[in-house]
Amino acid sequence: MKNIAVIGAGTMGNGIAHVFAQQNFKVCLIDISQEALNKGLATITKNLDRLIEKEKISVETKNSTLQNILTFTSIEEGVKNCDLVVEAATENIELKLKIFKQLDEFAPDNTILASNTSSISITKIASVTKRPEKVIGMHFMNPVPIMKLVEIINGYNTSKEVTETIMKLSEALQKVPVAVNDYPGFVANRILMPMLNEAIETLYNGVAGVYEIDTVMKLGMAHPMGPLQLADFIGLDVCLSILNVLYDGFKNPKYAPCPLLINMVQAGKLGVKSGEGFYDYSQSKKAEIISKQFK
């Protein structure tokens, strides 16, 4: 397995392409526009330069990594010779189902189809293909080049052979794969999102302010980042989407998103990506708040 396609050149997609290419896999990075692809490549280049500055890779490794990536604006062209496709599009079920129908049509019959979804059912995604046994979840953590975990999600029909292949492949990326089963939120977000939601509820109820809540969790619970800052980093719209998946899947009120979170998303306060969430991410403050994270 040497030829990999990655669908989506955004934050997760370019990170996934980066780690595959750095380990000498041939990567086809696919997005709907060349502008998005150029932006993704610029991010990869910037992250490789950071690794050079930290003396973790050589200039030669940077050059070979970039040479291993080809870009495409056509799914049909990008996946036609791939052994594995990793979909990293927006966390929207209709979009993912549409993409997987196309992947099933255009990718070779033996190609494994993986989704980087953080909450959507792999079994449901697989149901729109004619190869459900070859559909699996590969949930990378952000930032992909640094975070070690890959949550491997088995759909109802995912074959044991495919799971073993993806586990070994993740190890070849110098990641730590953990296999889980297909239930809403899997493990990572089933535990994380209620915690973030509770932090938002704590703020909403006036128990403490943003700084105080995050400081308690960082200094008292040894979290590297406070829950409200982490929610900003993930994207408040993404947090809301995942909580809705959990709530719809379990019908349990403990997963119902906080009204403050709903209002902030409706107001366009999405966190880092919009420049404001629980924190102000204007350029002067952004460096102070984020620059030291995950260094």
Q: Using CA atoms, how far apart are residues 187 and 254, in angstroms rounded to an integer?
A: 16
Please tell me the predicted confidence (pLDDT) of residue 204. Answer: 98
Domain identity same for 158 and 200: no
Q: Give the model confidence (pLDDT) of 148-163 as tens digits.
A: 999 999 999 999 999 9
Q: Percent of the chain scored above 70 by pLDDT?
A: 96
Domain identity same for 170 and 223: no
Q: Which of 151, 197, 241, 276 is catalytic?
A: 151
Nearest alpha carbon to residue 183 among 154, 141, 150, 140: 154
pLDDT band, very low/low/confident/very high, at 291 (cuts 50, 70, 90) = very low
Spatial CB neighbours of 204, under 8 Å, sequence gap ≥ 6: 258, 259, 260
Please tell me the predicted confidence (pLDDT) of residue 44. Answer: 97
Known binding-site residue numbers for NAD(+)? 8-13, 31, 91, 96, 118, 142, 273
Domain that holds residue 236: 189-290
Is there a catalytic annotation at residue 151?
Answer: yes
Q: What is this structure's pTM?
A: 0.89
Q: Quick check: 284 pLDDT over 80?
A: no
Q: Quick check: 208 pLDDT over 70?
A: yes
Spatial CB neighbours of 241, under 8 Å, sequence gap ≥ 6: 91, 92, 119
Is there a catalytic annotation at residue 170?
Answer: no
Known binding-site residue numbers? 8-13, 31, 91, 96, 118, 142, 273
Is there a catalytic annotation at residue 60?
Answer: no
Please tell me the predicted confidence (pLDDT) of residue 283. Answer: 66
Domain identity same for 53 and 196: no
Domain identity same for 17 and 122: yes
CATH code for the domain of 61: 3.40.50.720
How would you list the strands of the sheet with 69-72, edge to edge? 69-72, 26-30, 3-7, 84-87, 112-115, 135-140, 149-154, 176-181
Indicate the number of domains in the chain. 2
Q: Give the model confidence (pLDDT) of 64-83 as tens digits.
A: 999 999 999 999 999 999 99
- pLDDT, the chain, mean: 95
Q: Which of 68, 119, 139, 276 is catalytic?
A: 139
What's the whole-number mean pLDDT along residues 115-122? 95
Domain identity same for 174 and 204: no
268 or 282, which is more confident? 268
Q: Which of 118, 119, 121, 241 is catalytic?
A: 118
Q: Give the model confidence (pLDDT) of 12-67 as tens digits.
A: 999 999 999 999 999 999 999 999 999 999 999 999 999 999 999 999 999 999 99
Please tell me the predicted confidence (pLDDT) of residue 1. Answer: 87
Please tell me the predicted confidence (pLDDT) of residue 32. Answer: 96
Assigned domain for 295 exists: no
